[in-house]
Amino acid sequence: MVAAKEQGEQRGAELQSLLDRQKQMYAVIGHELRTPAASLQMILDTQDEQEELNKALIQANLQQLISVIDTLRAVAQPEKSVKGIYYDVLMDELLAHQLENFEPMAQQTKVRLHEDFEGLTVHPVRIQSTLVRQVVSNLIKNALIHSGASDITLQARAELLPERKKHLLIRVLDNGSGIPQETLETLFKPFARGATHADGTGLGLYICKDLIENMGGTLRYLDNPGGGSCFEIDLTVDLADESANEVIDEETPLLAGKSILLVEDNKTLQLLTEKLLTKQGARVEVADQGLDGLVKYQAGQFDLILSDIFMPEMNGYEFVSELRKRDCRLPIIGLTAATIGEETEQMLAAGADVVMSKPMNIKEVCKWLANFSR
């Protein structure tokens, strides 16, 4: 009886701990989602002449919002957080773009951003670039928000290895106050926020470390010899095919002359996606849902199909499955706004070649299609 009672009390304590953890997570996530959303609303409500500044601020807040959503997925389903699409990229371009994204925030906080790259050009690499960007972006954001630094440097070094491999060392350094010794032990633990008074989930470093380790690398904290902090990513990656330089040439209209069938039930996303695709030179036919998509597929000739998943009458799974039954061999990209669940696996099982998250990244679509075509 005593043993059973103790087991029951232990189980009750474990359940209460889990409940408290969930409450903490959802409270933090709710706050973090509301903050950038409110900022976006205020920016849009401000009728001034600073259109370029407003655009940059909107972009920065959207990146923050998407980052929080990615964090929510990683916490809810950690086993699925490391699945990323491989792209052929030049690391100097990828990293430089991350710094550019944070220029508006840096200007607001009067922080200078610097880049220090060696050995990154010439040889493109094949990596899960979306996940690498997520990690680097989080490290830069943390330095801007929490370090109290006046200067932040994104440093990267690369070394060619045998068997078409490349060793990457990526560091985010700041000249801020550093991290107290007593907090280092819990630095990469979930909900660990140290001594900072700034907003944050306390999940960023935990997720980043998990992502990098599941890519076969390491993420660690080092003291910055110049004072402040240093976070270092150590990662070995594969070299891309020699033709990958064509993929990352942003001046090349990769969709020029392509005919694309877009199957999407949301009118706003229809308009925005069509605009993005036509800007890249594509011709776009829009269908409101799967049944309409089948009719337009039969009547037209296409090079690529983009399909939402959750739609009325015929959803994306059914639409793609029916296309494959009709011997459709076109590349099919599934698009989803869902952050948890089995939507990616189900869409791939139905016959999609790849599934990408909304908002659709046009550069990733172009790169994936170029790789697919090769």
Residues 292-332 have pLDDT tens digits of 999 999 999 999 999 998 888 899 999 999 999 999 999 99
pLDDT mean over 214-225: 88
CATH pick for 250-373 out of 3.40.50.2300, 3.40.640.10, 3.30.420.40, 3.50.50.60: 3.40.50.2300
Question: Mean pLDDT lowest for which of 25-29, 95-99, 237-241?
Answer: 25-29
Q: How many residues does the chain have?
A: 374
How far apart CA 94 and CA 132 sit, in angstroms, is: 9
Strands (E) located in the chain? 87-89, 112-118, 125-127, 151-161, 165-174, 218-223, 229-239, 259-263, 283-287, 304-308, 332-336, 354-357
CATH architecture designation of domain 87-244: 2-Layer Sandwich (3.30)
Residues 11-32 have pLDDT tens digits of 777 777 766 666 556 555 555 5
Q: At residue 45, does pLDDT exceed 90?
A: no
State the DSSP H helix or E strand holding residue 346, giving kind and residue range, or none if neither: helix 343-350
